[in-house]
Chains A and B, each alone.
Chain A
Amino acid sequence: DVKVTQSSRYLVKRTGEKVFLECVQDMDHENMFWYRQDPGLGLRLIYFSYDVKMKEKGDIPEGYSVSREKKERFSLILESASTNQTSMYLCATDPGDSRYEQYFGPGTRLTVT
């Protein structure tokens, strides 16, 4: 079974803080993704990575950056957290073949106060 773990289930940060969300997968998947999930908006892609040190912007990259130094780990960074970044963040992976589904972590609910 693919296992995707996220560093925290719940996180509370203050406005202006630098925030790191980490995602680790154990199945040697090529692709990793970060989404944010908001009520009524579904999942929106922030960034994805198809290889180590490679990254691509998704649909809503503003205010975020990412890092992928090792294949199994993909970090999402909020350089200066703002209240409008309060959301559920979901990490996902897939093996790089479009026929295959994505595997999701349990999510991190981030609250910025």
Chain B
Amino acid sequence: AQSVTQPDIHITVSEGASLELRCNYSYGATPYLFWYVQSPGQGLQLLLKYFSGDTLVQGIKGFEAEFKRSQSSFNLRKPSVHWSDAAEYFCAVRGYQKVTFGTGTKLQVIP
């Protein structure tokens, strides 16, 4: 069975600081991996995805993520956080038909 773990429920960073959100997955084959962002009161929006090729993928809003097969990880990074990045972030793994989401990491940005 596929699964996703986001170990950090809540993270607080200062504006301008770097950010890394952790994601570990479990899946039997080559995974299709996604990061989504949810702003308050909104649906989820795709930040980036990985399904093959280069293990470092670039997304929207300056985000990137690195796929590490040996560690079963797909961590999300941003070099300099903006106040508008405050939101909830979800990592997801796609199987044949179903997508399994992590429990989310809520990001707070302080001035």
Contacts and interface: CB of A to CB of B under 8 A. Distances in A.
Contacts of B46: 101-102
Interface stretch (B61-69, B70-78, B89-97): B89-97
Contacts of B95: 98
Interface residues of B, number: 25
A42 B49 contact: no
B96 A98 contact: yes
Interface residues of A, number: 24
A32 to B, nearest CB: 11
B49 A101 contact: yes
A60 B45 CA distance: 23
A41 B90 CA distance: 11
A40 B104 CA distance: 7
Interface in B33-60: 34, 36, 41-46, 49, 51
Nearest to A90: B43
Given A40-B9, A40-B103, A4 B97 contact: no
Interface of A: 4, 31, 33, 35, 40-45, 48, 50, 56, 58, 90, 92, 98-99, 101-102, 104-107
